[in-house]
Amino acid sequence: MESDIELMLRTKAGDDSAFSELMNRHYKGVLNYIYRFTNLKENSEDLAQEVFLRVYRSASKYRPEAKFTTWLYKIATNVSLTHVKKKNSNISLDEMTENTGEYEDSEVEISDDIIYRKEMKDLIIKAMETLPEREKLAIMLCKYEGLSYEETADVLECTVGAVKAYVHRGRMKLVNKLKPYLTEGGEYGL
């Protein structure tokens, strides 16, 4: 199988079928990354298309030094952030630690009511929504996209140590928020 880099170089040389192959490989991953980040099903497809359009347009400048997926997810992160930022145009990026998706509540109140009505995945989405941007992104890139700490650090423009701290802090917060579901043998446990 040809590597991403080989395909990108072929794209650069004008071979569009190589880019279609790249999209076949990575489109679903990028689409779901955007979806998990923005929580908006309808927009995710448009945003994923935008990401690949940007990559395609930049193909002429592509040099094989950079790992393709790192570049791809960096652009996907920028596109998602810009989209979320437009929706929250009066909140600065650093302050924007909550309400990044369609969920209005920033607090996750796990009442008995919710426990019986909501599915687990909704609770996870809600809990993720309350995390600061960078903790959420770090967990998404490491956990869902399978990026290494180093790659995640490149995407988020921070150190590897910072990525580890984001993942850890985010994970601790999620444990606290979802505690009733996590206790072995507990009332709502696994």
Site for another protein in 87-126 (CB under 8 A): 120-121, 124-125
13 lines the binding site for another protein (CB under 8 A): no
Q: Which is nearer to another protein, 105 or 118 (CB)?
A: 118
Q: Which is nearer to another protein, 67 or 98 (CB)?
A: 67
User: Which of residues 15, 16, 102, 105 is near another protein by CB under 8 A?
Assistant: 16
Q: How many CA atoms lie within 13 A of 181 on its CB side?
A: 19
3-state secondary structure of 105: coil
| CB atoms closer than 10 angstroms to residue 100 | 26
C-beta of 102: minimal distance to another protein in Å?
14
- Degrees, nearest 5: CA angle 153-99-30: 45
CA distance 124 to 40: 15
Part in contact with another protein (CB under 8 A); list of ranges 101-109, 110-118, 129-137, 166-174: 166-174
Part in contact with another protein (CB under 8 A); list of ranges 25-33, 96-104, 109-117, 129-137: 25-33
The token duo for 115 is 């426990």
User: Which of residues 47, 84, 131, 139 is near another protein by CB under 8 A?
Assistant: 139
Q: Which is nearer to another protein, 42 or 109 (CB)?
A: 42
CA distance 97 to 107: 12
CA distance 14 to 125: 41
CA distance 178 to 164: 21
User: Which of residues 134, 136, 154, 156 is near another protein by CB under 8 A?
Assistant: 154
C-beta of 163: minimal distance to another protein in Å?
10
User: Which of residues 9, 12, 43, 67 is near another protein by CB under 8 A?
Assistant: 67
CA distance 12 to 5: 10
70 lines the binding site for another protein (CB under 8 A): yes
CA distance 155 to 144: 14
31 lines the binding site for another protein (CB under 8 A): yes
